[in-house]
């Protein structure tokens, strides 16, 4: 068996869609599972959609995710160049070879004529299909048109009778009546190939054995097969992946505001969690395990376990998985990642960020959720005395004022060096027991006085330790004033 070679062939359109990244990941895993080669090819034949800097986004994303390519525009290789716009002469050569074999033909139809064909198809409520008008041009007519410099495209010459079949690993045998096949454009009037033609030529010349792409290309595959047959080339193994959906009716799409890979990173998701999650969008390991490293996936990935059915992008599942990755980290690793988000709230306040990270470590699922949770550390927000009333804690404004007035001198008497989580816990709860109160009747008022919030990442003792004695006492006194 020849060495497995897969490719990722993105168009440089400005961002890395989650579906594109999954294609890259599956292609990488298929190759590396068999110690094969993973190739990066840039498909920039659609110059109208080209976005400046988009190629750098592709390089950076593959580097970030660990999908290191063996060959590509930036690393070279024996099958280059790996940018399609640099292979113009290659495509022209093979297009003309098909013309010689009568498997393709020159088409000189004007835009006006093609528009008229489309209008007629719409009126008849039929899909547009070129009518092979130029297929019957004589050699003399073709030569005269070329001599005059008339613009032309080269079209594939598909049969109008019979059936074309191809095999897909996921979807099985796909058969299409040839009368449904359009004579697709292979070479455009600007001399650049269409996406479909360039793919076939490049996949063959680069010895690609397994082609991984989205199921939206299933309908084009019969036309690809006819090209392979026309050239007398071996057909690669097709692996069409199911679409990624935002819900049962709508595909995930950047155009409708769905997150790209870069968007997810900016929201505070970890690249490892995102990669782990998108692996499971359409593939099943056959076990209950859900958390995998890239190295583990290389060992176990079997592309035959890719599903046919569409995969729903479940944001809550991704959040959960991201949280699991954060919990697995050491406190030091988590602190390093969380610090920029923590400082958005703390600003220039000199508090112990490691203690704050410890509070957040097992409570945060996405790093981007941190800003807004800690702003009370910087400055106590204005809040209403109604916040001191909490039915479950069995407290109200009157009980809260009494509790704060009782605990204030106790806290004032604590030495500065004793202002620690454990000492605060023991001292306050000893007073609670002495007074015969419920814990919440003391802790909820302290927590409210310190934060002015109903929801905080830590309790009264954690907040008091981080704020320090001086500021904690000042906030409790302010709470008493508010309750009077």
| Burial category of 59 from C-beta neighbours within 10 Å (exposed 0-12, middle 13-18, buried 19 and up) | middle
Task: Please give the sequence-ordered ranges of beta strands (E in DSSP) within 108-255, or none if there are none.
Answer: 153-156, 163-168, 172-177, 185-187, 210-214, 237-241, 244-245
Q: Is 117 within a domain? A: yes
Distance, CA of 278 to CA of 280 (rounded, Å): 5
- Which pLDDT value is given to residue 1? 58
Q: Do both 29 and 169 map to the same domain?
A: no
Partners of 244 in the beta sheet? 311
Q: Do both 228 and 96 map to the same domain?
A: yes
Q: Do both 294 and 276 map to the same domain?
A: yes
Boundary (domain end) residue, out of 186, 212, 241: 241
Residue keyed to tokens 């070279």: 76
Q: Do both 443 and 372 map to the same domain?
A: no
Of 132, 254, 271, 349, the active-site residue reads 254
Q: Is 321 within a domain? A: no
In total, the chain counts a number of residues equal to 484
Task: Please give the sequence-ordered ranges of beta strands (E in DSSP) within 283-404, or none if there are none.
Answer: 311-312
Q: Do both 473 and 410 map to the same domain?
A: yes
- Which pLDDT value is given to residue 249? 81
Mark whether 299 is an active-site residue.
no
User: What is the arrangement of strands in the sheet containing 185-187, beginning at the earlier edge strand?
Assistant: 104-107, 153-156, 185-187
163-168 and 153-156 beta bridge pairing: unpaired
Q: Do both 173 and 205 map to the same domain?
A: yes
Cβ–Cβ < 8 Å for 163, 129: no
Q: Do both 101 and 234 map to the same domain?
A: yes
- Which pLDDT value is given to residue 252? 78
Q: Is 322 within a domain? A: no
Handedness of CA 230, 233, 237, 239 (dihedral sign): negative
Q: Do both 24 and 129 map to the same domain?
A: no
Dihedral angle of Cα 426, 428, 431, 435, to the nearest 10 degrees: -130
Q: Do both 343 and 456 map to the same domain?
A: no
Neighbours of 177 (CB within 10 A): 12
Q: Is 328 helix (H, G, I), strand (E, B) or coil?
A: helix
Q: Could you tell me the two tokens for 385?
A: 């005395």
Residue range(s) defining the domain that contains residue 471: 385-483
Q: What angle do CA 17, 214, 179 make, to 5 degrees?
A: 135
Cβ–Cβ < 8 Å for 436, 402: no
Boundary (domain end) residue, out of 378, 409, 435: 378
Q: What is the pTM of this model?
A: 0.90
Distance, CA of 1 to CA of 28 (rounded, Å): 19
Q: Is 319 within a domain? A: no
Distance, CA of 58 to CA of 13 (rounded, Å): 10
Dihedral angle of Cα 13, 73, 215, 123, to the nearest 10 degrees: 50
Q: Could you tell me how far CA 182 lies from the centroid of its own chain?
A: 34
Distance, CA of 206 to CA of 225 (rounded, Å): 17
Q: What angle do CA 126, 129, 131 make, to 5 degrees?
A: 120
- Tens digit of pLDDT per residue, the chain (484 long)? 589 999 999 999 888 889 999 999 999 999 999 999 999 999 998 777 778 899 999 999 999 999 999 999 999 999 999 999 999 999 999 999 999 999 999 999 999 999 999 999 999 999 899 999 999 999 999 999 999 999 999 999 999 999 998 889 999 998 999 999 999 999 999 999 998 899 999 999 999 999 999 998 888 888 999 999 999 999 999 999 999 998 888 887 766 666 789 999 999 999 999 999 999 999 999 899 999 999 999 999 999 999 999 999 999 999 999 999 999 999 999 999 999 999 999 999 999 999 999 999 999 999 999 999 999 999 999 999 999 999 999 999 999 999 999 999 999 999 999 999 999 999 999 999 999 999 999 999 999 999 999 999 999 999 999 999 999 999 999 999 999 8
Q: Is 258 helix (H, G, I), strand (E, B) or coil?
A: coil
Q: Which residues of 283-319 are buried (b: 16+ CB within 10 A; e: fewer)?
A: bebeeeeeebebeebbeebebeebeeeebebeeeebb
Distance, CA of 328 to CA of 34 (rounded, Å): 30
431 is in an annotated binding site: no
Q: Do both 414 and 475 map to the same domain?
A: yes
Distance, CA of 458 to CA of 98 (rounded, Å): 71
Q: Do both 220 and 120 map to the same domain?
A: yes
- Which pLDDT value is given to residue 255? 66
Q: Is 323 within a domain? A: no
- The number of distinct structural domains making up the chain is 4
Can you give the C-alpha Rg of the chain in angstroms? Answer: 32
Q: Do both 351 and 470 map to the same domain?
A: no
CATH classification at residue 251? 3.40.50.620
Distance, CA of 466 to CA of 446 (rounded, Å): 14
């Amino acid at each position: 068996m020849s060495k497995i070679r897969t490719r990722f062939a993105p168009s440089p359109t400005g961002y890395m869609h989650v579906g594109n990244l999954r294609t890259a990941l599956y292609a990488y895993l298929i190759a590396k599972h068999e110690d094969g080669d993973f190739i990066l090819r840039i498909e920039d034949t659609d110059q109208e959609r080209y976005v400046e800097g988009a190629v750098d986004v592709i390089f950076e994303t593959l580097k970030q995710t660990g999908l290191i390519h063996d060959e590509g525009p930036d690393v070279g290789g024996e099958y280059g160049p790996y940018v399609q716009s640099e292979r113009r002469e290659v495509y022209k050569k093979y297009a003309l070879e098909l013309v010689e074999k009568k498997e393709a033909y020159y088409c000189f139809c004007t835009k006006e004529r093609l528009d008229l064909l489309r209008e007629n198809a719409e009126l008849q409520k039929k899909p547009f299909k070129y009518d092979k008008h130029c297929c019957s041009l004589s050699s003399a007519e073709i030569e005269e048109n070329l001599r005059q410099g008339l613009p032309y495209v080269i079209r594939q010459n598909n049969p109008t009778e019979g059936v074309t079949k191809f095999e897909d690993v996921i979807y099985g045998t796909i058969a299409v009546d040839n009368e449904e096949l359009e004579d697709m454009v292979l070479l455009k009037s600007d001399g650049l190939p269409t996406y479909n033609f360039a793919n076939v030529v490049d996949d063959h010349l680069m010895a690609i054995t397994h082609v991984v792409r989205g199921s939206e290309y299933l309908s084009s595959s019969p036309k690809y097969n006819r090209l392979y047959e026309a050239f007398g080339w071996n057909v690669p193994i097709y692996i069409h992946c199911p679409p990624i959906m935002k819900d049962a009716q709508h595909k995930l799409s950047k155009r409708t505001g769905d997150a790209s890979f870069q968007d997810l990173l900016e929201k505070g998701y970890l690249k490892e969690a995102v990669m782990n999650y998108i692996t499971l969008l359409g593939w099943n390991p056959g076990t209950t395990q859900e958390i995998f490293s890239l190295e583990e996936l290389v060992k176990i990935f079997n592309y035959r376990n890719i599903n046919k059915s569409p995969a729903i992008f479940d944001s809550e599942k991704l959040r959960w998985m991201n949280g699991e990755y954060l919990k697995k980290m050491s406190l030091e690793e988590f602190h390093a990642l969380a610090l920029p988000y923590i400082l958005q709230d703390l600003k220039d306040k000199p508090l112990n960020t490691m203690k704050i990270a410890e509070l957040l470590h097992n409570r945060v699922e996405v790093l981007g959720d941190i800003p807004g949770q800690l702003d009370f550390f910087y400055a106590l927000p204005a809040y209403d005395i109604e916040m001191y009333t909490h039915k479950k804690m069995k407290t109200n404004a009157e009980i809260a004022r009494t509790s704060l007035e009782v605990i204030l001198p106790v806290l004032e008497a604590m030495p500065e060096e004793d202002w620690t989580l454990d000492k605060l816990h023991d001292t306050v709860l000893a007073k609670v027991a002495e007074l015969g109160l419920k814990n919440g009747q003391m802790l909820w008022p302290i927590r409210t006085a310190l934060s002015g919030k109903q929801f905080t990442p830590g309790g009264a003792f954690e907040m008091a330790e981080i704020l320090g004695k001086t500021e904690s006492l000042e906030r409790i006194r302010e709470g008493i004033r508010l309750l009077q």
